[in-house]
Amino acid sequence: MTRHQRIRRNTTRAIFMAIIILQDLVPFFGNIPLGPLSITTLHVTVILAAIILGPGEGAIIGGTWGLLTWVRAFVAPSSPLAPLVFTNPLVAILPRIMIGVVAGCLFRFVQHYYHSERLAAILAAVAGTVTNTGLVLGLIYLFYRTPVVAQAYGVDVSHLLPALLTIMATNGLAELILAVIVVPLVALPVLEVRRRLL
C-alpha cells in the first residue's frame, strides 16, 4: 500500500468514526428511542465501512460504536434498558464488532464468487443487521434473564424470550429494511468512485 493509499484509508476511517460519533450523540439521528427500546441506524454506517474499507476496518468502526454504547450506558443511556444490559462490554461491544466482520467478509465472498456488487451489498446489509440484532438480543437473554430486565420489557421472566423474539421480528425487521435500501444506494457509487481514483 502506497503512502497516498494509507492516507486515504486513514482519512476515510476517521470520517466513518466521526459519523458514528455524531449518530450516537445527536438525539434521533442514530438511535430512535421507542419505550424501553432503541431503534438504531448506526449499523448501516458500520456495514458501509465494512463494504468500502473491508472487514478489518468495519470491525474498527463497529468497535467504535460499541465502545460509545458501553460508555453511554453509564453516563447518558439511550434507553431505560441500556444501563441494565449495555454496561456489559460483551453485549455492548462484541455484536458491533461482528457486524463489520460478517458484513465485510460476506461482501468480499459474494463479490468474488458471484461477480455482483449489488447482490453482495444487499446480502452484507442483511447479514450485518441480523448479526447485530441476533447477537445483542441473544446475549441479553443469555446474561440477563432477570426480573429487572424482563420488567423493562414489560413482561415477566418466563416471557422474556418471546418478548426478545418479537423485538427481533419488529425492530430488527425495520432495521433490516433500512439497511437493504440504504447500503446499496450508498456503497455502490462510493466503490465506483474509489476504483476511478486508484
**Residue 155: pLDDT above 80?**
no
The 10s digit of each residue's pLDDT in 113-139 is 999 999 999 999 999 999 999 999 999
Per the structure, the count of domains in the chain is 1
**Residue 30: pLDDT above 90?**
no
Whole-prediction pTM: 0.92
- pLDDT at position 38: 64
Q: Per-residue b/e over 137-174, b at no fewer than 16 CB within 10 Å?
A: bebbeeebeeeebbebbebeeeebeebbeebbeebbee
Given the C-alpha cell 458500520, which residue does it identify?
A: 46
- pLDDT at position 32: 74
Helices 117-143 and 42-53, interaxial angle, to 10°? 130
Smallest CA-to-CA distance from 56 within 101, 3, 108 is with 101
The 10s digit of each residue's pLDDT in 54-102 is 999 999 999 999 999 999 999 988 777 888 899 999 999 999 999 999 9
Given the C-alpha cell 468480499, which residue does it identify?
A: 108
Q: Domain of residue 107: give its range.
A: 3-197
CATH code for position 130: 1.10.1760.20
